[in-house]
Amino acid sequence: MPAIPLAKAPQPSATDPAQIRNFCIIAHIDHGKSTLADRMLGITEVVEQRNMRAQYLDRMDIERERGITIKSQAVRLPWRSGIDGKEYILNMIDTPGHVDFTYEVSRSLAACEGAILLVDCAQGIEAQTLANLYLAMENNLTIIPVLNKIDLPAAQPEKFAEELAKLIGCKPEDCLRVSGKTGDGVVELLDQIVELIPAPVGDANAPARALIFDSVYDTYRGVVTYVRVVDGHLSTRDQIQMFSTGVRHEMLEVGVISPEPVVSKGLGVGEVGYVITGVKDVRQSRVGDTITTYNHPAQTALAGYKDPKPMVFSGLFPLDGADYPLLREALDKLQLNDAALVFEPESSAALGFGFRCGFLGLLHMEIVRERLEREAGLSLISTAPSVVYRVFRDDGKEMIVTNPSEFPDGKIARVDEPIVRATVLAPAEFIGTIMELCQERRGTLLGMDYLSEDRVEIRYTLPLAEIVFDFFDQLKSRTKGYASLDYEPIGEAEGDLVKVDILLQGEHVDAFSAIVHKDKAYAYGVMMTSKLRELIPRQQFEVPIQAAIGSRIIARESIRAIRKDVLAKCYGGDISRKRKLLEKQKEGKKRMKMVGRVEVPQEAFIAALTTDADADKAKKAK
């Protein structure tokens, strides 16, 4: 029996590093990471059969529904190897799977010695997998290539074994074959983890150093910080200190997750577990930071700490202005658990009071918005996402612009914008389409490789702003959903950028301003003015809608004055009906936002700020 009862297994704080294997699973969304993790929990018997449920480790509702993992988890799995018959502790670290969380992924990887590269053998490797694989290789992890879903009729294990072998430089026969669904091959995989992945190495007698690879706010227990001990020992008796902040904390609890929290005396070299220190906010216990003990502090931090840096900004406004305090409260609460989320108050002439929020990327933005709406019951309008521009004025002054409405009007010497390196994986038949799209989006081709006969990896540099616009939706629709995308920031570059303003009857509508490439300013202007013409109801007077760069008008439309707004009949029974209708319309009038003298219904703002792709999503969600 390869599973070991927890009580009889090597105990935390007293496990020889030689018995420990720390690994993570790298997989593209839907390639079966959560399902495989479920099987591992079952086979190692840390979760009893009757308590098992699908996606056991994905805790948040939003994760379960979207099938994505936002926050990683670390699970301690005792295992007796079928090869040498000895007892081991496998720590499975579940990494977040999306491009926005690359830094968090890299910290999870840094806590491991090995990675399972899990590939759906009906799909093949995807851009996401590739990006994370490169990260794992950079961290010198041992890679175990695993083909999943071998039970599927459409499985092509031979084909994808070739692909994997070529990619990581192994032999096709080295790829393990499993089915997370049936459990086939999972026992062998656990044994191979023991065989192939090196045991952690560290100095048990040195001052303690532990890497924070995750930090989660818990309503009842405060912040739970997940750590991997590199040197020394952490115990409940210690006071600890964070390297980046220098702040000292009491150690209230130390433990491991198996997969429910189990309190332990401490954690030794190579072990993975959690500490609770009473901090109330994840920003005091940041991913990537090093924990040491206060009494015997280490001299140097573990490498690789970075402050999370928001890449995408958007204004969030409550639909009902009265909800502003609620929105603030909800953002404060989310920030307890999200060190990457930043926000500051913003006021818009058109949308009222709200917050300018910074996110790691589009998914992060969507998740935050969804959580605000779901958990705080708020209805929100969000403005079009913007990247961070560095604007150099003629007078030599430099400013950071995250909100198009703050883009300076005066003379500008130069504007720099963030650039990413994007990797697209797709069937070879879409090469032309993808290159066309990247070209339209100001991309520069870096290179292209065939992963197999009919699948290619295409690499481009692209302005992040183009990706943020609707690149991903376009890529998916133009490749019938077959292409996958990954990107990472690589710096900034000068862009030929201008701010396009939208004017209603000569009045600026701040919420609709956008910073766009000069060549696309006209298209943006035409798109926005004609959209608004459809959305804004006719007024008592003609309303010109203009798009302008500075004082130069680049597109115009107009809404004709209304000529008919009356119900023809009003007899006996119509009177109360009509009065009630008027009362309703009066309410509607109150919800109108005034832009100068123009009444703009809130729905028009929402619709104008929503891309077509968003609108489709919203429709599907209904």
Partner 1 sequence: MSGAAPLSFYIHIPYCVKRCGYCDFNTYTPSELKDGGTLADVSGDYIDLLLKEVEQAAREVPNALPVPTIFFGGGTPTLMEPADLGRVLNAIEGSFGFAPDIEITIEANPDTVTLEKLQALRQIGINRVSFGMQSAVPHVLQVLDRTHNPENVTKATNWAREAGFEHVSVDLIYGIPGESIADWQKSIDTALSLPIDHISAYALIVETGTKLANQVKRGEIVMPDDDETADKYLLADSAFRTGGFGWYELSNWARAGGECRHNVAYWLGANWWGLGPGAHSHIDGKRWWNVKHPTAYRDRMIANESPAQDSETLSAEEKESERIMLAIRMPAGIPLATLDSPTHERLLPYVTSGALDENAWQAGSVVLTASGRLIADRIVREILL
Ligand X SMILES: Nc1nc2c(ncn2[C@@H]2O[C@H](COP(=O)(O)OP(=O)(O)O)[C@@H](O)[C@H]2O)c(=O)[nH]1
Binding site for partner 1 (CB under 8 A): 540-541, 560-573, 575-576, 578-579, 582-583, 585-586, 589
Between 34 and 258, name the residue whose CB sits nearer to Mg ion: 34
Stretch that binds Mg ion, among 13-21, 29-37, 117-125, 485-493 (CB under 5 A): 29-37
Peptide bond into 259 cis (omega under 30): yes
**Integer Cα distance of 112 and 129 in angstroms:** 17
Strand partners, 549: 552
- Among positions 13, 15, 19, 35, the unique one binding ligand X when judged by CB under 6 A: 35
Between 149 and 517, name the residue whose CB sits nearer to ligand X: 149
264 binds ligand X (CB under 6 A): no
33 binds ligand X (CB under 6 A): yes
CB of 83 to ligand X, least distance (A): 24
Nearest to 483 by CA among 442, 461, 451: 451
CB of 100 to Mg ion, least distance (A): 16
DSSP tag of 615:
H
Stretch that binds Mg ion, among 30-38, 344-352, 563-571, 613-621 (CB under 5 A): 30-38
179 binds ligand X (CB under 6 A): yes
Give the DSSP letter string of 558-602.
EEPPP-----S---TTHHHHHHHHHHHHHHHHHTPEEETTEEE-H
Structure tokens at 117: 């590269």
Stretch that binds ligand X, among 144-152, 338-346, 439-447, 533-541 (CB under 6 A): 144-152
Contact 9, 16 (CB under 8 A): no
Structure tokens at 320: 């009902």
Residue 205: other Cβ atoms inside 10 A = 9
Contact 254, 236 (CB under 8 A): yes
Helix-helix angle 127-138:157-168, to 10 degrees: 40
Between 94 and 557, name the residue whose CB sits nearer to partner 1: 557
Residues 38-77 within binding reach of ligand X (CB under 6 A) = 67
Stretch that binds ligand X, among 25-33, 455-463, 557-565, 578-586 (CB under 6 A): 25-33
Between 171 and 586, name the residue whose CB sits nearer to partner 1: 586
CB of 543 to partner 1, least distance (A): 13
Contact of residue 181 among Mg ion, partner 1, ligand X, none (CB under 5-8 Å per partner type): ligand X
Site string for Mg ion, 381-400 (x = CB under 5 A): --------------------
Stretch that binds ligand X, among 71-79, 176-184, 455-463, 545-553 (CB under 6 A): 176-184
Structure tokens at 69: 């993992």
- Among positions 13, 19, 22, 34, the unique one binding Mg ion when judged by CB under 5 A: 34
- Among positions 16, 30, 406, 470, the unique one binding ligand X when judged by CB under 6 A: 30
Stretch that binds ligand X, among 23-31, 103-111, 139-147, 384-392 (CB under 6 A): 23-31
**Integer Cα distance of 135 and 293 in angstroms:** 30
| DSSP H helix total and E strand total for the chain | 15, 33
**Could you give the 3-state DSSP secondary structure of residue 424?**
strand
| CA-to-CA separations, 267 to 163, 263, 347, in angstroms, rounded | 40, 10, 49
Contact of residue 171 among partner 1, ligand X, Mg ion, none (CB under 5-8 Å per partner type): none
32 binds ligand X (CB under 6 A): yes
Between 220 and 571, name the residue whose CB sits nearer to partner 1: 571
**Integer Cα distance of 485 and 457 in angstroms:** 10
Count of chain residues binding Mg ion (CB under 5 A): 2
Structure tokens at 1: 């029996």
CB of 41 to Mg ion, least distance (A): 13
**Integer Cα distance of 530 and 559 in angstroms:** 10
Residues 53-72 within binding reach of Mg ion (CB under 5 A) = 69
Q: Angle CA(609)–CA(613)–CA(619) in degrees, nearest 5?
A: 95
Between 27 and 532, name the residue whose CB sits nearer to Mg ion: 27
Residues 402-431 within binding reach of ligand X (CB under 6 A) = none
**Integer Cα distance of 488 and 424 in angstroms:** 12
**Integer Cα distance of 155 and 151 in angstroms:** 7
Amino acid at 330: A
Contact of residue 563 among partner 1, Mg ion, ligand X, none (CB under 5-8 Å per partner type): partner 1
- Interaction site with ligand X (CB under 6 A): 27, 29-35, 67, 148-149, 151-152, 179-181
- Interaction site with Mg ion (CB under 5 A): 34, 69
